[in-house]
Chain A
């Protein structure tokens, strides 16, 4: 069964606004990763956050992880039309296991 559940399923914002997507998971994890997928294409790796980390930044992206709540959030600041895509969280358990994906959030940034 899928581990992560993203929230919201779909999000529409104006260019320049911030976008926040949330991910919840059910069992203990080793890492949590966020990916972007443009329509019908492959996945682009955005950020990996380890279970012992609480926050990571990469450019306009900020990821937080709260293992006590089994949740993570992805914040995209100053969004652009090019950020329009589906965003997925994925988790792996200790032991180098394959990733299990959530259902994804479809983000639309309107120019």
Chain B
């Protein structure tokens, strides 16, 4: 298994500002992902964070709005840029160790409120 931590756990931000969320895994993992969970909804994949290369974004999500870094096999960041109230969500980091089994673990999430 993998233990995933996220910082901050929650934040309240003003419209137009940006927030960077950090994700740390306690062991090296092959794949890291970022999800968004809007209030009362399920999880939607934002992007796959690729180590050493640009992230792979899902339809509806763009790098200018959600820049992602992954400098090594245990760490990734997601920035929510130029925030609006519609960005108020829980943002979750996830990882799996690959090898075909694909058991995927999640961090505790970052609850973001944009005023």
Binding site for B on A (CB under 8 A): 2, 30-31, 33, 35, 40-45, 48, 88, 90, 92, 96, 98-104
Cβ of A100: which chain B residues have Cβ within 8 Å of it?
45
A110-B72 Cα distance, complex, nearest whole Å: 45
Binding site for A on B (CB under 8 A): 1, 30-31, 33, 35, 41-45, 48, 90, 92, 94, 96, 98, 100-109, 111
CB pair B106–A45 under 8 Å, yes or no, is yes
Known contacts A100-B45, A102-B42; A33/B104 CB under 8 A: yes
Interface centre among B42, B94, B103, B106 (most CB of A within 10 A): B42
A96-B104 Cα distance, complex, nearest whole Å: 10
CB pair B45–A98 under 8 Å, yes or no, is yes
A6-B41 Cα distance, complex, nearest whole Å: 13
Known contacts A2-B42, A101-B42, A104-B42; A92/B102 CB under 8 A: yes
| B77 CB, min distance to chain A CBs, angstroms | 17
